[in-house]
Structure formats: C-alpha cells, structure tokens
Amino acid sequence: MSKTAFFTDERTFWHTGGTHALFFPVGGWVQPPAASAYAESPESKRRLLALIQASGLAASLDMGSANAASDDDLLRIHPRDYLERFKAASDANGGDLGELAPFGKGSYEIAALSAGLAMSALDTVLAGRAANAFSLSRPPGHHCLRDKSMGFCLLANIPIAIEAARARHRVERVAVIDWDVHHGNGTQSIYYDDPNTLTISLHQEGCFPPGYSGTEERGAGAGEGANINIPLLPGGGHDAWLYAFERIVLPALNRFRPDLIVVASGLDASAVDPLARMLLHSESYRAMTQLMRDAAARHCGGRLVVVHEGGYSEAYVPFCGHAIVETLAGVRTQVEDPMLDLAILQQPSARFAAFQRQLIDEMAQMFVR
C-alpha cells in the first residue's frame, strides 16, 4: 500500500523577509529585529519537520525534495513581466513588489522551489505513487495574485501546481479548501471565473486582507458559484470551524464532485497565533484533515494534497502540523500536544457558539442557491 508522500527542502527555510520585525519594515520607531522576529520565520516549519522526525512519524512517510518550478510552470499563472521584476529584485538586494511581502536576495529561486514542492505533491498523488501528500515549504502562496505579491506570498504555489497537474494528468475538477486563518485572496482571484476549480476560504472576518469578509464574492461568469468565502468571528474555535465544514464545506464538495482536493493549510487559526485571533488546537486540525480524507475517499479515490501556508507560533505550529500529517498517514505516534487541555478549556462559551452557528446557517442558505 502506498504511503503518504512528504515534500520539503531545507533551502526553502533560507528565504528571508529582508529586515522586518513581525511584518513592519525596520525604521522610524521599529527596532531592527532579533533573529526570529520576522513573522514568516522558518522556525515554525523547521520545528514541525523536527517533530516529525523525533516522533518516528517520518518512518511512515515517503520523504523527499523536488525540482523547482520551471519558467513554463510559472508562466501558466504569472505574467512574464511580474516574474522578471521579481527575479531582478531578488538578484539585487531583495525588496517588496506588492503588499507586505518582503524578500531578500535569492528569494526568487527559493520561491520557485517552494512552488515546485507543491507541484511534486500533486504530481505524486495523481500518478498514484502515494496515497496522499503533504508539502512543507516557504514562502507560502495563497495571497499571491497573478501580478502582485501579498502577505508573505511571492508565487501562487497551489495554482502553479494545479495547472502543472492539468497539463500532465487527466484531472479537471479541483477543489481548494483554504483553512488558513487569512483569506485565500490570491487563489480566489486566479480562479474567480473558472467553473472547474472550486475555491473555499474559511477565515477570520476582516483580518487579512484588512477588512475583508467576502460572502458576496461567489465567482464570475462560468465560475459563478464556484467561489465560497466563510468569514468567521474573531474568537471562534473548534465548534465554529467544524460546524462550517459540516454545513458548508462538505455539502459544497458533494455538489462539486472534485477529481482532487487540495488544502491550503495555514496553521494560524490556532489559539496562540500572533497574526490572528482564533482558538483552534491540534485536535481541530486533526478533525478537519480527517473530514478531507473522508471526502477525498468519497469523491476522488482518496486523492488529497495538503500544502502548508501560514502559521506563526514557532512553538505550537509543530503540534498542529504533526496532527495533520499523522491523520494523512493514518498513524498515531506518542506525541502529545502540551497545550491541548488548556486550549479546550479556553474555547468560546455556548452563547458564542450558538450565535456563530446561526451565522453559519445563514451563510449555508446563501451558498446552496
């Protein structure tokens, strides 16, 4: 029986955000950062990989790296002009070509490798060489527009991977479930009029892009109805996210009948993430992954790929990511989440949960039409 494939590469951990503290450029009142003060730091990813090795979970995985995405691969999504500007700035001293997406020297090649790892994850699953797959890399991709970087994202990793897969395999209908706490605006914009790519983003209402909610943005033209936004209230936790899956995500997948499910897996809806205000924990990510595994088994022969996106708590991201990879591989190691009991006690009250459920019910009514 084929294993879970796991793609990662140490070189993607060498991408830097130039000189930024959290995501503020240094200068004025912003003191230059300590080593890991840049929000999109490699440490959360490196520690997840370390935990996978320390726990023995690695033995259940087919681990490997991949080639960088080629120019042809990148050009399926990004205009040549954007790629040339990015490469030129990367060859010089880095910069920021968009909004809150700083990068240092050499980040172009690293971003192409990050996209290449996601590509290989899809390719391996579609070729039947793995039961499912996980890609752990940076920079992330889900905020990147075709011609503009945003929110730490320099290339649109998942769309690049989907279009490469469509060029090489018989795969048409792809569902992208984005559970990063921030809106998957890049993926949405790239597939806004595509009826064959269902994009669903669950996110904290108004968080990033700042002020964005998105329920009314449902896709355009032939893609009308194939884009769903599920804004959740700040402070929401396990109940809110799982209820949104039950009422909206799973019914949408049932209607869409995907050939492949891709998860844009940010781990920044956790209770201790510095860039959002949600209350998920490792068991929430385990449960959502199991739902996606079950949906993939029901619709598309189990074809499921999880691509890492955001997640900024160095100490806690590893436990959430480890639970996801355990679930993909169908194994349970000895690892215990040291924050789980506390996070469960900190969940919102029944009154909050009832109110959030009511709002989700209202959204579910909108989306079935």
Q: Does 273 sit near Zn ion (CB under 5 A)?
A: no
- Report which residue's Cβ sits closest to Zn ion: 310
Q: Write down the catalytic residue from 20, 78, 143, 308.
A: 143
Exactly one of 266, 318, 321, 348 binds Zn ion (CB under 5 A); that residue is 266
Exactly one of 138, 182, 286, 303 binds Zn ion (CB under 5 A); that residue is 182
Report CA dihedral (37, 289, 203, 47) to the nearest 10 degrees: 0
CB of 180 to Zn ion, least distance (A): 4
E strands, the chain, are 4-8, 20-21, 24-25, 61-64, 132-136, 174-178, 197-204, 227-232, 260-265, 304-308
Closest CA to 150 of 163, 139, 164, 136: 139
Q: Residue 30: helix, strand or coil by DSSP?
A: strand
- Kindly indicate which of the ranges 162-170, 235-243, 252-260, 266-274 contains the residues binding Zn ion, using the contact rule CB under 5 A: 266-274
CB of 231 to Zn ion, least distance (A): 14
Residue whose CB is less far from Zn ion, 180 or 194: 180
CB of 138 to Zn ion, least distance (A): 12
Q: Residue 198: helix, strand or coil by DSSP?
A: strand
> Identity (one letter) of the amino acid at 155?
L
CB of 182 to Zn ion, least distance (A): 4
The CA-based diameter of the chain, rounded to the nearest angstrom, is 58
Residue whose CB is less far from Zn ion, 183 or 247: 183
Could you give the angle at the alpha carbon of 364 between the alpha carbons of 270 and 328, nearest 5°? 45
Q: Is 143 in the active site?
A: yes
CB of 49 to Zn ion, least distance (A): 19
Residue whose CB is less far from Zn ion, 14 or 23: 23
Residues 201-260 that bind Zn ion (CB under 5 A): none
Q: How many residues bind Zn ion (CB under 5 A)?
A: 5
Q: Does 310 sit near Zn ion (CB under 5 A)?
A: yes
| Residue that has been written with the tokens 């995907």 in this structure | 258
Cβ atoms 277, 312 nearer than 8 A: no
The residues that touch Zn ion, with contacts defined as CB under 5 A, are 180, 182, 266, 268, 310
